[in-house]
Structure formats: C-alpha cells, structure tokens
Amino acid sequence: MVGLRLVALAYLAIILLGPLAMVFWRTFEHGFHNFWSTLSQPSTVHAFEMTLLITAIAVPLNTVFGIVCALAIVRKRFPGKGLVNAFVDLPLALSPVVVGLALFLLYGRGGWFYHLFADRGISILFALPSMVLATVFVSLPFVAREVVPTLREIGDEQEQAAHTLGASGWQTFRRVTLPSIRWAVVYGVVLTTARCLGEYGAVAVVSGRIEGKTETATLRVQDQYENFNLAGAYGISLVLATIAVCVLVAMTMLRPREGASAR
C-alpha cells in the first residue's frame, strides 16, 4: 500500500502541484508592484468585468434550467427523455471550439438567424449576446447532473405528503422540494461558476477578441502572452488561479458525501 501511495502522490505532485506553484512563483518574480500595475490596465479591468458579467448572467439561467430540467427528467414521463438527457450531457463531451463554431454558423453571415438580428441592428456575434450564449452552452449540464441523482434518491413521498396536507404545486416546490435539493444545487452552482470563469475556446471563436470590448479574462491572458507581456499574462492567471483554489475549497466542503446525498 505504501508503494502505491508514493506512486499516486508523486504523480499528483508532478502533474498538478508543479503547475500551480509556477503561477504563484512566476507572477511575483517581478515583484508585487509590477503585478498590481499590469492588473489595473483598463483593458484588463474591462476583461474581468466581462467575465463577471457573463458569469452573472449564465449561472442563474443554468441554475433555473438545471432545476426545472432535473425535475422533469426524474418526476415526469414524456417522449424524447433520452434525447433531452443526451443534449444536456453533450457539453461535457464536446469541444468548446465546435460550440463556438456552431454559434458562429447560426448567427453569422449566411446563418439562419443572421437576418433576424442584423436587420434590427442587434449584434450577436462579436458582442456580449454570443459570448453569453457560448458560456451558457458549455456550462449547461452541471446543476442538472447534480440535482438528478439527489431527486432520485429522495423520492417523491415527501411531496405526496405535502399534497395530501393541501399544499399547492408551487408551495410544495418552494417548501418541500427546493430545500431537499438545496446542497445539490449549491454544489452545481459552484461547478457552473468555475466553468463560466474558465471558459476559453467557445468565447474565443464568437467574440472576435476585441480588446477593451469583447475580451474576457481568459482571452486577455492569451492576448497578453501574444503581445509578449508575460507579467500581464501571469498576473491575470494568478487571479484566476486564486479563484480556482477558492472553488476547490468550496467543492471540498460541499461535496456530496460518498454513499449519501447531501441534504
């Protein structure tokens, strides 16, 4: 067992911890002052704002969708349930570049929805709407996938009891169902948020990466790197990595206990 333990720990240290340590080291190699000045560039600040804005829109949307979809999958019978399952799971297996391209082809010149929006002067591509759509697509599954097994395990007896006591559909949802899936939803929200903050490929395709307008934090990292501004790239990376560590902490604390659902 000790031998296996060493193998596992060595592997993890090399593959995971090495990179993590590098972020912190390289950023402060050039001093803290440098780090702060690169972060306070207007374009960088704007990039962070875009990331936060997109996340603030995408997370609530996917949370609502995730809960409603999970309830439908577990509690209701309807044709095409397998298809719904497949499409909800698709973002987990699909390359973000393919997602970006698909949106590009739908809303871009020659696409089915092009005239619908262009004729009204609404920009989808190279603007916020497509970036939100891309981010919603890639972060779609997480809340639903966390809530489904919890709902299955709980069963609908509590809800039946509520109905026999006179509660309406909405009351039952709000006072019985929702509290019982609370922690699954929270965990799903954490995963969704992490995915939104870290999204690169799909947004890179649809946004056009216009500095100061349609760059997110992750896109900005690449931009800084390509412009040989390593300090800038590392600075943004450090912020993102710190958020990632916070996400890890949240995930660890909230992780559904193995063998039991989190209630």
Q: DSSP secondary structure string, 62-85?
A: HHHHHHHHHHHHHH---TTHHHHH
Nearer CB in complex with another protein: 16/178: 16
1 burial via Cβ count (<10 Å: 0-12, 13-18, 19+): exposed
Q: Which of 127, 131, 148, 197 touches another protein (CB under 8 A)?
A: 197
Single out the segment in contact with another protein by CB under 8 A; choices: 37-45, 100-108, 120-128, 174-182. 100-108
Q: Which of 50, 59, 133, 189 touches another protein (CB under 8 A)?
A: 133
Rg (the chain; Cα; Å)? 22
Angle in degrees, CA 91, 97, 101, rounded to 5? 100
Q: Which of 45, 56, 68, 210 touches another protein (CB under 8 A)?
A: 68
Q: Is 160 in the site for another protein (CB under 8 A)?
A: yes
Nearer CB in complex with another protein: 213/256: 256
Q: Is 71 in the site for another protein (CB under 8 A)?
A: yes
Q: Is 15 in the site for another protein (CB under 8 A)?
A: yes
The Cα–Cα gap between 95 and 203 comes to 12
Q: Which residues, at least 6 apart from 223, have a Cβ–Cβ distance to it below 8 Å?
A: 209, 211, 215
Single out the segment in contact with another protein by CB under 8 A; choices: 15-23, 33-41, 42-50, 117-125. 15-23
- Residues 102-131, interacting with another protein (CB under 8 A): 102-106, 111-113
Closest CA to 71 of 150, 175, 183, 165: 150
Q: Which of 156, 261, 262, 263 touches another protein (CB under 8 A)?
A: 156
Q: Is 96 in the site for another protein (CB under 8 A)?
A: yes
Q: Is 260 in the site for another protein (CB under 8 A)?
A: no
The Cα–Cα gap between 199 and 192 comes to 11
**Residues in contact with another protein, shown as a per-residue x/- string from 174 to 193 under the rule CB under 8 A:** -----------------x--
Q: Is 12 in the site for another protein (CB under 8 A)?
A: yes
The Cα–Cα gap between 61 and 144 comes to 12
Longest alpha-carbon distance in the chain: 67
